[in-house]
């Protein structure tokens, strides 16, 4: 029997009406940031928005996720690919493990090619601090087009 990892997902409030289709598809297919679970079962125990800038829900939502058994919190890819990317992303990444002891993974589904093209032209992710974040959600070109 495979090990089960319980996760929560926090999305950007700009996308609050998102039904989670790309996140759930990539979770099911173990693509993008979910590729780290190739040999594991994944159980989603929480899904919410950050509640808008400056992300007040990030202060409280992980507590509920943890009560539901979450071990990992994923920040949805939208926090990275939206324009501009979430200005609080790095603070959130540091806060949740410190406050709740939960692992944080940056990203969910692969970056759609259209977003990669725009951010490349704008050099949004030119700073080295983005490289570790982008690596698991860049994927190959075909996959990026599949998510566009």
Which residues form the domain of 103?
A: 4-146
Q: Buried (b) or exposed (e) across 33-46, using 16+ Cβ within 10 A? A: bbeebeeeebebbb
pLDDT, residue 33, reads 98
Give the residue carrying structure tokens 């989670």.
Answer: 20
The reported pLDDT for the residue numbered 2 is 86
Positions of the chain with pLDDT under 70? none
How many domains are there within the chain? 1
pTM for this predicted structure: 0.95
pLDDT of residue 24: 97
Closest to 110 measured CA to CA, from 87, 142, 70: 142
- Asked whether 30 and 137 are in contact (CB, 8 A), the reply is no
């Amino acid at each position: 029997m495979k090990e089960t990892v319980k996760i929560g997902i926090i999305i950007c409030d700009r996308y609050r009406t998102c039904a989670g289709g790309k996140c759930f598809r990539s979770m099911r297919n173990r693509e993008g940031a979910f590729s780290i679970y190739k040999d594991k079962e994944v159980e989603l125990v929480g899904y919410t928005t950050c509640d808008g800038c400056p992300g007040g829900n990030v202060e409280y939502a992980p507590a509920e996720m943890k009560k539901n058994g979450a071990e990992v919190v994923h920040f949805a890819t939208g926090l990275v690919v939206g324009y501009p990317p979430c200005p609080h992303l790095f603070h959130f990444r540091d806060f949740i493990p410190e406050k709740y002891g939960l692992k944080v993974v940056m990203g969910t589904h692969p970056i759609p090619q259209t977003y990669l093209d725009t951010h490349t032209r704008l050099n949004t992710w030119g700073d080295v601090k983005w490289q570790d974040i982008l690596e698991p959600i860049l994927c190959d070109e075909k996959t990026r087009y599949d998510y566009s």
